[in-house]
Structure 1
Amino acid sequence: MANPQHPSVSHVIADLQRHGLHPEVTWFDDATTTAAAAAEALGIYVGQIANSLVFTLDEEPILVLTSGAHRVDTDWLGPHLGGTIGRASKDVVKAATGQVIGGVAPVGHPHPVRTFVDTALRGYSEVWAAAGHPKTVFPTTYEQMLTITAGTPTAVRP
């Protein structure tokens, strides 16, 4: 698909460029609603997909970038982070990130969002994350992800 203009994607690209990164954003013809679908479309392992999940930690929005190979254990992660984790509503996601569920990128948000990066992602030389729209992804590395998000490396399950 040609690279259409979208404000959220433009914010992501600008944020990446501020960090000296210039990855090519891939646009899919259809939204890839699961990590498995995105991995299949890219021809990569599902674990290389960095799912961007917005939760609340004691009512504060947080972003958890987790490997597509497993799910976040919120009952374990909340106490590990010193609080209680809840699912963020679509309104909280949009307010915190400026993006919609399914397209939340690690960057490009109106304000910094406290971010935790799944340590399982460090096992891959390349990971792919949403680029601000449900039909977009971009390649990066685990180390770059930590840098661009000021994220904390964190296991997301025991």
Structure 2
Amino acid sequence: MSLESVRAFFAEHAPDIAVIVTEQSSATVPLAAAAHGVEPGQIAKTLSLRIGEEVVLVVTRGDARLDNRKAKAALGGKPRMLGQEEVEALTGHPVGGVCPFGLATPLKIYCDLSLKAYDIVVPAAGSTHSALRIGPARMAELTQAEWVDVCQEALPETAAAE
């Protein structure tokens, strides 16, 4: 369902945006950056978090790390990462392909302000071999995301390649 649900989402909401399928895996930020010829920060990674009883998605730049203190303040509770099976059950997407589009379950979506450093970001598109190019503001608009400041300051380029 995953890749197809993302394609269906864009067919309905933004037919001008094409899903890109590659031979190379884009399951991690470094792999995705290499596959799409962009810097790691341009990869829009989607984190699946539990805040109390609620599950939310937070989209951040690829080289950013969640700041627990900022996240707790912005999201109203301590964030806890979901396990792989729960992520796939709730989003319909496998880990490495999770994105805020074509979700199996309606979830609250947040976009970290760090994404605004780029004109174009590259989020996954429902599989470990698919992605798309989109402006951060348009991504937030299409997913009805709320902008938040939940990440640490961007890391120097050498540290970001972990």
Q: For residues 72-112 of structure 1, what are the alpha-carbon distances to aligned partners after superposition, in whole Å with 9 as ceiling and x for unaligned?
A: 12343123321121110122212221111111121101232
Percentage of matched positions with identical amino acids = 30
The answer for the alignment partner of 2:56 in structure 1 is 62
Whether the aligned pair in 1 keeps the contact of 2:48 and 2:56 (CA below 8 Å) is yes
In the alignment, structure 2 segments of 5+ residues that lack a partner are 153-162
Q: Does 1:131 align with 2:125?
A: yes
> 5 Å matches for 1:1-158?
7-157=1-151
The answer for the alignment partner of 2:155 in structure 1 is none
The runs of at least 4 consecutive aligned structure 1 residues that moved more than 3 Å come to none
Supply the AA of the counterpart residue of 1:63: L
Q: For residues 130-151 of structure 1, what are the alpha-carbon distances to aligned partners after superposition, in whole Å with 9 as ceiling and x for unaligned?
A: 1100111111111111111110
- TM-score, reference length from structure 2: 0.86
Q: CA RMSD in A?
A: 1.5
How many residues align structurally? 152
> Aligned to 2:132, what secondary structure does the other structure show?
strand
Whether the aligned pair in 2 keeps the contact of 1:61 and 1:92 (CA below 8 Å) is no
- TM-score, reference length from structure 1: 0.88
Supply the AA of the counterpart residue of 2:116: R
Separation (CA, whole Å) in 1 of partners of 2:20 and 2:40: 17
Supply the AA of the counterpart residue of 1:58: G
